[in-house]
């Protein structure tokens, strides 16, 4: 069966009502380069799912495939149970909030928000009602007669979101929408987007390379790397239970120590023996493994502990102090200390321990 003929088999892949979009084996190549290896992904109705990853991870390619801006080399994409794999962009019922907002500078806020309704020839009475409601949702009810040039960056971002919400698309894509804002405004907009998402029940796919932003906003995170999906899960699952060293390193700060599993249920590293995490039963002795411990779970002591090293740097960041501790092998361990804990000096020898329930063991 040819690829095009395969796309016509719509009814064979009907979706359950709770699934807004399903991707099955979608892939994209540019010549000999594979930008996106076959991926499978389901987006639930009403959730905010974030596509997260470094440059070149494939998230932008996946976004373009979802929008219909480029055609896949294989796989299928369903929205509301309907095969949209080869459908043009305007037939996908998708709204996009771009990184640069793409507002019309010569139009007022109200005219910008009205534009998609005009293109759909919505009645004047219905348009007025929807525009008013959309501006109220984004907190710009009194800004309808202003022009984009008279607004702050955060307000322009809200106008772009209102313009998307006003025609009630089946799916909303936000492409690096907060990256142009300064840190404080970006954090404020994160709160606003969570509120808007909660109040509207919209299904949103948010694209970012900012780990903290993904953790703060998402119902679930889809972490991508080298054209593949590394892990999908809630922010808590991604942070607390990474499935690979890449995930552990990319999401927040992780301490990673490699070694060999021993018959006594420990991990033998170049810097000492460490107990295996709770509930972990080694498949075989002498197998290679990697221990992952987050900085906030590292406890510092004056003696005892599983590992020891010397403090080589202290970094004060207001709410906490981060310490870099160099082990005998040269491995650097990051620990976090909150206000009120015993301060440590450069060059001081410290001993490290943690609760085994807070460690994670990865194969290899």
The CATH T-level fold of domain 253-363 is OB fold (Dihydrolipoamide Acetyltransferase, E2P) (2.40.50)
pLDDT at 166: 92
Q: Is the pLDDT of residue 289 over 50?
A: yes
Task: Specify the residue for token string 């690096």.
Answer: 176
Average pLDDT rounded to a whole number, residues 342-346:
91
List residues bridging with 21 in a β-sheet: 43, 79
| Cβ–Cβ under 8 Å, residues 114 and 136 | no
Average pLDDT rounded to a whole number, residues 68-96:
94
- Give, as one character, the DSSP assignment of residue 343: P
Give 107-164 pLDDT, tens digit per residue. 999 999 999 999 899 999 999 999 999 999 988 999 999 999 999 888 998 899 999 9
Around 351, how many Cα atoms within 13 Å sit in the side-chain half-sphere?
A: 9
Of all residues in the chain, what percent carry a pLDDT higher than 70?
A: 93
Radius of gyration of the chain (CA): 25
Domain ranges of the chain: 3-245, 253-363
Distance separating alpha carbons of residues 61 and 36, to the nearest angstrom = 7
Helix (H) or strand (E) holding 79: strand 74-79
**Which of 4-13, 102-111, 193-202 has the highest average model confidence (pLDDT)?**
102-111
pLDDT at 13: 45
Distance separating alpha carbons of residues 77 and 84, to the nearest angstrom = 6
Average pLDDT rounded to a whole number, residues 98-115:
91
Name the packing angle between helices 183-200 and 153-165 (round to 10°).
20
Six token digits for residue 75: 């796989």
Six token digits for residue 169: 């698309």
The CATH T-level fold of domain 3-245 is Rossmann fold (3.40.50)
| Cβ–Cβ under 8 Å, residues 362 and 245 | yes
pLDDT at 65: 96
Q: Which of 10-24, 148-162, 265-279 has the lowest mean pLDDT?
A: 10-24
Six token digits for residue 326: 């160099």
Average pLDDT rounded to a whole number, residues 184-197:
86
């Amino acid at each position: 069966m040819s690829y095009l003929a395969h796309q016509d088999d719509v009814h064979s892949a009907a979706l359950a009502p709770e699934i807004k979009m399903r991707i099955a084996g979608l892939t994209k190549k540019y010549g000999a380069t594979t930008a996106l290896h076959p991926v499978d992904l389901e987006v639930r109705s009403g959730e905010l799912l974030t596509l997260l990853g470094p440059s070149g991870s494939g998230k932008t390619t996946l976004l373009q495939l979802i929008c219909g801006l480029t055609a896949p080399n294989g796989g299928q994409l369903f929205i509301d149970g309907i095969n949209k794999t080869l459908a043009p962009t305007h037939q996908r019922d998708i709204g996009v909030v771009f990184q640069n907002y793409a507002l019309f500078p010569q139009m007022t806020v109200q005219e910008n928000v009205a534009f998609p309704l005009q293109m759909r020839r919505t009645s004047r009475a219905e348009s007025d009602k929807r525009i008013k409601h959309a501006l109220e949702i984004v907190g710009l009810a009194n800004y309808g007669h202003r022009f984009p040039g008279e607004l702050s960056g955060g307000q322009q971002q809200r106008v772009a979101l209102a313009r998307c919400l006003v025609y009630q698309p089946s799916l909303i894509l936000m492409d690096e929408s907060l990256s142009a804002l300064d840190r404080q405004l970006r954090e404020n907009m994160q709160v606003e987007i969570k509120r808007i998402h909660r109040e509207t029940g919209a299904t949103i796919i948010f694209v970012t390379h900012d780990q903290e932003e993904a953790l703060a906003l998402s119902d679930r995170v889809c972490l991508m790397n080298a054209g593949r999906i590394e892990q999908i899960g809630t922010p808590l699952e991604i942070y607390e239970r990474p499935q690979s060293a890449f995930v552990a390193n990319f999401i927040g700060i992780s301490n990673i120590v490699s070694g060999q599993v021993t018959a006594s249920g420990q991990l033998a590293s170049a810097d000492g023996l460490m107990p295996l995490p709770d509930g972990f039963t080694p498949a075989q002795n002498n197998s290679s493994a990697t221990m992952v411990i987050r900085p906030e779970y590292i406890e510092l002591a004056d003696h005892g502990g599983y590992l020891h090293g010397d403090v080589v740097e202290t970094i004060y960041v207001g709410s906490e102090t981060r310490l870099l501790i160099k082990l005998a092998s040269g491995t650097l361990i990051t620990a976090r200390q909150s206000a009120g804990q015993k301060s440590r000096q450069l060059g001081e020898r410290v001993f490290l321990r943690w609760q085994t329930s807070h460690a994670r063991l990865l194969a290899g």
